């Protein structure tokens, strides 16, 4: 008997001793099969304004709020809370006929007065640069400046099931602007300025409502009328590498812009979804008196064009060559595209240039492209290309820009916002180009053909490439899409485990 008991007691003591060194993780890592876990690098507590918010932070607004209209994944404007739009007086007046079955998350019907009340709050609270379309409404600017009342002075009125908006003047971009996140219908807009403490006080017009919120995680739960997965957890990861480590062990289902080194692997595993983005790269070539002559600028662009094509072939998921187009959509104009190609590839020579200098903002894409160009120019042209990477604000230093032969510019290139695009780009214009732009703005131009042709023909600012948006998705996700403004459409997410 003792022979049995003694070894048994010794064995128990050994087990207890070993367990004393085992660290027990009490963290609850279980995730329901109905829950999609979406990795984000930041969580904003102030959602009252879109100023300073990243696209991923805007996603929370888009998931929990709907607009009168929206821009779908094809970039087309479609109905959302409104089922019909009547345009009158040559684009001066818009009447939005509301859907019959639109509700807040608490079950109350969304009324025309709710929408009117939201616009009243938005005019007062949002930063001016984000609501230019709304400030085009008759009386809106005066009301924002504290003159007059909203009900009597601002041309936003309601009917039994409609909202009517009258502008000061025709604005062809009005509907396009109205699809942006800041125009998603919300109640108690100022309360969104401290969403962590107030989310329980709110009702939501979107597919989802916020049911938990802290510095590291936001939980979105589908409301009764919503579409998409039942629950989405937005979990904060400090960087993409940590996010991907969690993705690999099944703790994340969606990772936006995974590390470039992972793209090919993800693609081969059918876990990569790639979308076009509005992010464009342009090359400003120094045309000052001590800069490069036109013949050299044209030759440089020809070689940049060829090099970028090769860079795209190596990185097809990351970028798309501009092929002479200032906007991605312009590549659909095959006649214009072919004309540009012929112009770019005209015979010429790059004589007596032993070295070139390039300045760019420090980012993964800029860094990788610059490194590639250094090798390409050395191997193909025997030119020593030197580059410097700086902070974005340093590109505003005109004295610094003058010391370089070329500057790589990274800005948004939305073909529906050409005025804003060329205005931002004008920081790199010469005096003549600024004058041409000013004339086109004064003429209320929509296409800005004159300034585009000037920049292209003189090779002073030329299109290089467009970035793509990549999303890593787990085997749990059957579908995901991005709307025309670059925000995730949560209602589009398909869950294979449902």
DSSP code string of 381-444: H--EEEEEEE-GGGGG-HHHHHT-SEEEEEEE--GGGHHHHHHHHGGG--HHHHHHHHHHHHTT
Q: What's the rounded Cα separation, in Å, for the pair 78 and 67?
A: 10
| Residue keyed to tokens 């009328």 | 225
**Residue 91 zone, left/alpha/beta (φ > 0; ψ -120 to 50; rest):** left
Burial class (CB in 10 A: 0-12, 13-18, 19+), 394: middle
Give the residue from 319, 320, 313, 317 showing the smallest Cα distance to 265: 317
Neighbours of 257 (CB within 10 A): 19
- pLDDT score of 31: 52
Q: What is the pLDDT of residue 342?
A: 87
Total length of the chain? 498
Beta bridge partners of 209: 221
The domain made up of 45-243+474-495 has a fold known as: D-Maltodextrin-Binding Protein; domain 2 (3.40.190)
Contacts 24+ apart (CB under 8 A), 193-198: 193/46, 193/47, 193/48, 194/45, 194/46, 195/45, 195/46, 195/47, 196/45
* Residue written as token pair 């899409």: 481
The three-class DSSP label of residue 20 is coil
Q: Give the contacts of 396 (CB within 8 A, at least 6 positions apart).
A: 427
8 Å CB contact between 182 and 130? yes
Per-residue pLDDT of the chain (498 residues; tens, 9 = 90+): 444 444 444 444 443 443 343 333 322 334 566 899 999 999 999 999 999 999 999 999 999 999 999 999 988 999 999 999 999 988 999 999 999 999 999 999 999 999 999 999 999 999 999 999 999 999 999 999 999 999 999 999 999 999 999 999 999 899 999 999 999 999 999 999 999 999 999 999 999 999 999 999 999 999 998 999 999 999 999 999 999 999 999 999 999 999 999 999 999 999 999 999 989 999 999 998 888 899 899 999 999 999 999 999 999 999 999 999 999 999 999 998 899 988 888 766 666 788 999 999 999 999 999 999 999 999 999 999 999 999 999 999 989 999 999 999 999 998 988 999 999 999 999 999 999 999 999 998 889 999 999 999 999 999 999 999 999 999 999 999 999 999 999 999 988 776
C-alpha span between 428 and 459 (Å, rounded):
13
Nearest 5°: the CA angle 272, 278, 282 is 115
Q: How far apart are CA 162 and CA 111, in angstroms?
A: 9
pLDDT at 9: 46
Q: Which of 289, 258, 290, 287 is nearest to 274 (CA)?
A: 258
Q: Residue 351, class by beta-carbon neighbours within 10 Å (0-12 exposed, 13-18 middle, 19+ buried)?
A: exposed
User: Do 59 and 471 form a contact (C-beta atoms < 8 A)?
Assistant: no
pTM of the model: 0.85
Task: List the domain boundaries for the chain.
Answer: 45-243+474-495, 276-468
CATH 3.10.105.10 fits 276-468, yes or no: yes
Look up residue 242 and give its DSSP letter.
Answer: H
Cα dihedral 393/399/404/409 (nearest 10): 30
C-alpha 59: how far from chain center: 10
Q: Tokens representing 463? A: 């299109």
């Amino acid at each position: 008997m003792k022979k049995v008991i003694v070894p048994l007691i010794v064995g128990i003591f050994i087990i207890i001793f070993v367990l004393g060194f085992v660290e027990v993780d009490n963290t609850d890592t279980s995730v329901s099969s109905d829950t999609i876990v979406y990795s984000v690098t930041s969580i904003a507590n102030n959602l009252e304004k879109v100023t300073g918010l990243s696209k991923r932070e805007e996603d929370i607004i888009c998931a929990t709020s709907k607009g009168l209209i929206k821009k779908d994944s094809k970039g087309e404007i479609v109905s959302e809370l409104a089922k019909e739009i009547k345009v009158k007086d040559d684009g001066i007046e818009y009447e939005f006929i509301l859907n019959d079955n639109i509700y807040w998350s608490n079950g109350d019907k969304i009324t025309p007065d709710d929408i009117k009340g939201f616009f009243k709050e938005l005019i007062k609270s949002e930063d001016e640069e984000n609501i230019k379309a709304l400030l085009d409404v008759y009386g809106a600017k005066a009301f924002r400046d504290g003159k007059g009342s909203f009900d009597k002075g601002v041309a936003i009125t309601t009917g039994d099931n409609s909202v009517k908006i009258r502008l000061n003047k025709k604005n062809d971009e009005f509907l396009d602007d109205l699809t942006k996140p800041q125009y998603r219908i919300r109640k108690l807009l100022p309360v969104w300025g401290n969403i962590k403490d107030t989310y329980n006080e709110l009702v939501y017009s979107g597919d989802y409502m916020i049911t938990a919120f802290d510095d590291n995680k936001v939980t979105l739960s589908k409301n009764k009328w919503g579409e998409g997965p039942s629950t989405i957890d937005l979990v904060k990861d400090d960087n993409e590498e940590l996010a991907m480590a969690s993705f690999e062990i099944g703790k994340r289902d969606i990772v936006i812009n995974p590390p470039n080194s992972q793209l090919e692997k993800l693609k081969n595993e059918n876990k990569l979804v790639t979308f076009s983005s509005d992010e464009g790269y342009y090359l400003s070539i120094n045309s000052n008196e001590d800069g490069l002559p036109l013949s050299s600028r044209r030759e440089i662009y020809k070689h940049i064009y060829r090099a970028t094509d090769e860079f795209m072939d190596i990185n097809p998921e990351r970028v798309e060559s501009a092929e002479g187009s200032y906007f991605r959509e312009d590549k659909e104009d095959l006649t214009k595209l072919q004309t540009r190609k012929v112009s770019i590839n005209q015979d010429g020579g790059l004589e007596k240039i032993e070295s070139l200098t390039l300045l760019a903002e420090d980012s993964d894409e800029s860094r990788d492209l610059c490194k590639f160009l250094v090798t390409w120019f050395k191997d193909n042209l025997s030119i020593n290309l030197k580059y410097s990477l700086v902070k974005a604000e340093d590109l505003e230093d005109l004295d610094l820009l003058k010391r370089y032969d070329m500057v790589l510019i990274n800005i948004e290139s939305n073909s529906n916002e050409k005025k804003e695009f060329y205005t931002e780009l004008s920081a790199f214009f010469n005096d003549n180009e600024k004058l041409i732009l000013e004339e086109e703005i004064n003429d209320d131009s929509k296409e800005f053909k004159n300034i585009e042709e000037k920049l292209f023909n003189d090779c002073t600012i030329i299109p290089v490439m467009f970035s793509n948006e990549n999303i890593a998705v787990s085997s749990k996700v059957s579908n995901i899409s991005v709307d025309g403004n670059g925000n995730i459409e949560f209602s589009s997410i398909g869950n294979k485990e449902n």
